[in-house]
């Protein structure tokens, strides 16, 4: 399991593991502090004729919460993850196929959506699906005093005035997806985006190191 | 064994006329080729790119040959850049072939590859065969050696076939054939009585099929057995007893995650009869 410590942008300790499940074509587990998500990818696989798209693959995302059945909140998170994945995968290389991404929440201690995005990216890489760029998720919280915290815990999220999650791409560090909650000014939004872009560098470097380690083991 | 689906990338060459009207062929010395060579055996991630940047100085006196780079799976051309689209190790085969060696479990059909398929349905004049891809492949009943309209091949649902792709691209349904272009079977066809079929990763299959590989030579020192290797990640083994068949199947499945040292150790223990 690859582990990385926190830095001056103060991300919690994170770690990941790839290819841990034997049935899916790609799988990964991503841990940020105490938040932990496991992802499995199946594809490109057969698709029902009613659901197939003639010129690209169809991507389905399922998020299973730790307790209970998926509800509306999981549906909105699924939409965020799906749009991010569709923007970075080369879906036109597998027309009339289906890709299924299943995310299981093992523990939620804040920054859940960004942990889901990171686990999804590692699982898609593990499955060998063609991608045009990588993506990562970063969550920022703005406290009542106006301070910006990256990668907040559940307690910090509860006390915050605003909560934002951004998906950043690896090619030009642009924002691919944003999901925000609470009240904040335009200036604060721009500051959060800048902080997230800086934090994404650490995460991409971590992706690179963990993939390097994986390929150096098996030769 | 090199995977299929390679594309050719030609580096640019331009013609210049000097004041006398004679032609001088000048080639832009592209650093991309040397940059690719520098990063051979590096682990690359999707999004890494190699651009066709040119040098500022063009040499007019030396004649430079245009260089062609053949790019394989994992590398895509987008405009004037070469972009990596799968994570893996960049491999190079001299003089000019580059590809990304990635570990994958899911098979995507490619023309010319030989695979092990399972017959799932007989509909009219074609058999539907499951090859592990995103759709089932079709196998015509005339594509067997010595098959005619009157003399149908003896293929039942559930049989294993070793066949080759004659059509396999993303836009059409894949088609298989059990004869090569000259009409001979060449080892292909229905098989499978008494053996065991199991799945491994695509990387292990490519290693088994590459010439002079150690896994096969180590396996030859153990019991005599029949082994059919399908490039869709399926292996079929048959040996003289059920126990030996199971031992070989387990050994091959565990080869994926072991280093060469551990594998030799394990094979030696089996040979001595410890397992």
CA distance A147 to chain B (A): 33
Nearest C-alpha neighbor of A61 from the set A48, A50, A70, A52: A70
3-class DSSP state for residue B27? strand
User: Same structural domain for residues B118 and B184?
Assistant: yes
Residues A78-94: b if buried by 16+ CB within 10 A, e if exposed: bebbbebbbebbbbebb
CA distance A219 to chain B (A): 7
B244: which 2 tokens?
Answer: 């030996």
Q: How far apart are CA A183 and CA A185, in angstroms?
A: 7
The closest CB to that of B46, out of A93, A94, A133, belongs to A133
Number of independent structural domains in chain B = 3
User: Same structural domain for residues B40 and B82?
Assistant: yes
> Above 80 in pLDDT, residue A100?
yes
Q: Does B47 touch chain A (CB under 8 A)?
A: yes
Chain B residue with minimum CA distance to A42: B106
Q: Which of B171, B190, B209 is at the close of a domain?
A: B190
Q: Does B5 touch chain A (CB under 8 A)?
A: no
How many residues are recorded in chain B? 275
In this predicted model, what pLDDT tens digit does every residue of B109-123 receive, in sequence order? 999 999 999 999 998
**β-sheet bridge partners, residue B16:** B24
State the average pLDDT for chain B.
Answer: 83
The closest CB to that of B86, out of A19, A128, A207, belongs to A128
pLDDT band at B68 (very low <50, low <70, confident <90, very high): confident
A137 is a domain residue: yes
Mean pLDDT check: name the lowest of A38-52, B13-27, B230-244: B13-27
Number of independent structural domains in chain A = 1
User: Same structural domain for residues B223 and B180?
Assistant: no
Q: How far apart are CA A103 and CA A39, in angstroms?
A: 4
Interchain proximity A127–B104, CB inside 8 Å? yes
User: Same structural domain for residues B229 and B252?
Assistant: yes
CA distance A157 to chain B (A): 33
A82 is a domain residue: yes
Q: Which of B190, B208, B231 is at the close of a domain?
A: B190
In this predicted model, what pLDDT tens digit does every residue of A191-206 receive, in sequence order? 999 999 999 999 999 9
In this predicted model, what pLDDT tens digit does every residue of B175-233 receive, in sequence order? 999 998 888 888 899 997 889 999 998 989 998 998 888 888 888 888 888 999 999 99
Q: How far apart are CA A131 and CA A8, in angstroms?
A: 30
pLDDT of residue A2: 40
pLDDT of residue A90: 95
Interchain proximity B87–A211, CB inside 8 Å? yes
B179 is a domain residue: yes
The closest CB to that of A211, out of B43, B106, B134, belongs to B43
State the average pLDDT for chain A.
Answer: 92
Nearest C-alpha neighbor of B7 from the set B83, B68, B96, B72: B72
Query: What CATH number is given to the structural domain containing B186?
Result: 2.40.50.140
pLDDT band at A45 (very low <50, low <70, confident <90, very high): very high
B160 is a domain residue: yes
Q: Does B135 touch chain A (CB under 8 A)?
A: yes
User: Same structural domain for residues B184 and B223?
Assistant: no
User: Same structural domain for residues B234 and B256?
Assistant: yes
Interchain proximity A125–B171, CB inside 8 Å? no
H or E, element range at A3: strand A2-4
B19 is a domain residue: no
Edge-to-edge, what's the strand order for the sheet holding A135-142? A148-150, A135-142, A162-169, A175-182
B77 is a domain residue: yes
CA distance readout (Å), A204 to A4, A71, A98, A168, A197 = 12, 31, 27, 10, 11
Chain A residue with minimum CA distance to B43: A212
B73 is a domain residue: yes
Interchain proximity B105–A26, CB inside 8 Å? yes
Residues 159-188 of B with CB under 8 A from A: 170-171
pLDDT of residue A177: 95
Interchain proximity A95–B170, CB inside 8 Å? yes
The closest CB to that of B134, out of A44, A125, A215, belongs to A44
Interchain proximity A46–B46, CB inside 8 Å? no
Cβ-based contacts under 8 A for chains A and B? 85
Rounded to 5 degrees, what are φ and ψ at B166?
A: -100, -25
Provide the residue range defining the domain that includes A30. 14-218
Provide the residue range defining the domain that includes B225. 196-272
Query: What CATH number is given to the structural domain containing B95?
Result: 2.40.50.100
Chain B residue with minimum CA distance to A24: B105
A3 is a domain residue: no
B36 is a domain residue: yes
B94 is a domain residue: yes
The pTM (predicted TM-score) of the whole model is 0.87
DSSP designation for B54: B
Share of chain B above pLDDT 70, in %: 83
Query: What CATH number is given to the structural domain containing B250?
Result: 3.30.1370.10
Other CB atoms within a 10 A radius of the CB of residue A187 amount to 8
Interchain proximity B104–A43, CB inside 8 Å? no
Chain B residue with minimum CA distance to A46: B134
A1 is a domain residue: no
User: Same structural domain for residues B82 and B151?
Assistant: no
Chain B residue with minimum CA distance to A205: B45
Query: What CATH number is given to the structural domain containing A154?
Result: 3.30.230.70
CA distance A67 to chain B (A): 31
Q: Which residue has the higher pLDDT, A170 or A43?
A: A170
B17 is a domain residue: no
A67 is a domain residue: yes
């Amino acid at each position: 399991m690859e582990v990385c410590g926190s830095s001056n942008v103060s991300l919690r300790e994170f770690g990941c593991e790839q290819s841990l499940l034997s049935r899916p074509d790609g799988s990964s587990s991503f841990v940020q502090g105490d938040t932990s998500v496991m992802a499995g990818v199946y594809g490109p696989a057969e698709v029902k004729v009613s659901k197939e798209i003639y010129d690209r693959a169809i991507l389905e995302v399922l998020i299973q919460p730790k307790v209970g059945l998926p509800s509306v909140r999981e549906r909105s998170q699924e939409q965020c993850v799906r749009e991010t994945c569709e923007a970075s995968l080369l879906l036109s290389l597998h027309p009339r196929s289906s890709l299924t991404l299943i995310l299981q929440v093992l523990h939620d201690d804040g920054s859940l959506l960004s942990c889901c995005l990171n686990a999804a990216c590692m699982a898609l890489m593990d499955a060998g699906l063609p991608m045009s760029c990588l993506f990562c998720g970063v969550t920022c919280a703005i406290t009542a005093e106006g301070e910006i915290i990256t990668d907040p815990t559940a307690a910090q999220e509860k006390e915050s005035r605003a909560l934002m999650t951004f998906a950043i791409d690896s090619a030009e560090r642009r924002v691919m997806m944003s999901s925000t909650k609470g009240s904040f000014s335009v200036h604060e939004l721009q500051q959060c985006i800048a902080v997230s872009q800086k934090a994404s560098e650490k995460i991409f470097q971590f992706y690179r190191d963990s993939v390097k380690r994986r390929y150096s083991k098996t030769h | 064994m090199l995977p299929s689906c390679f594309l050719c990338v030609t580096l640019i060459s331009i013609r210049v006329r000097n004041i006398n009207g004679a032609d001088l062929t000048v080639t832009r010395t592209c650093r991309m080729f040397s940059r690719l060579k520098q990063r051979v055996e590096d682990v690359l991630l999707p999004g890494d790119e190699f651009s066709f940047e040119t040098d500022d100085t063009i040499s007019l006196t030396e004649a430079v040959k245009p260089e062609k780079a053949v790019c394989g799976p994992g590398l895509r051309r987008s405009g004037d850049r070469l972009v990596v689209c799968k994570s893996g190790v960049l491999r190079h085969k001299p003089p000019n072939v580059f590809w990304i060696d990635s570990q994958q479990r899911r098979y995507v059909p490619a023309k010319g590859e030989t695979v092990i398929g399972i017959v799932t349905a007989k509909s009219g004049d074609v058999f539907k065969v499951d090859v592990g891809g995103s759709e089932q492949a079709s196998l015509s009943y005339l594509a067997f050696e010595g098959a005619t309209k009157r003399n149908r091949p003896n293929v039942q649902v559930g049989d294993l076939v070793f066949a080759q792709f004659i059509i396999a691209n993303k836009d059409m349904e894949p088609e298989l054939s059990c004869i090569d272009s000259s009409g001979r079977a060449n080892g292909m066809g229905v098989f499978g009585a008494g053996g065991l079929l199991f799945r491994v990763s695509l990387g292990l299959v490519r290693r088994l099929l590459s010439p002079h590989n150690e896994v096969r030579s180590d396996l030859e020192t153990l019991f005599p057995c029949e082994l059919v290797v399908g490039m869709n990640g399926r292996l079929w083994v048959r040996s003289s007893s059920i126990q030996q068949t199971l031992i070989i199947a387990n050994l091959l499945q565990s080869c994926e995650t072991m280093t060469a040292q551990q594998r030799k150790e394990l094979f030696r223990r089996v040979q001595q009869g410890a397992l």
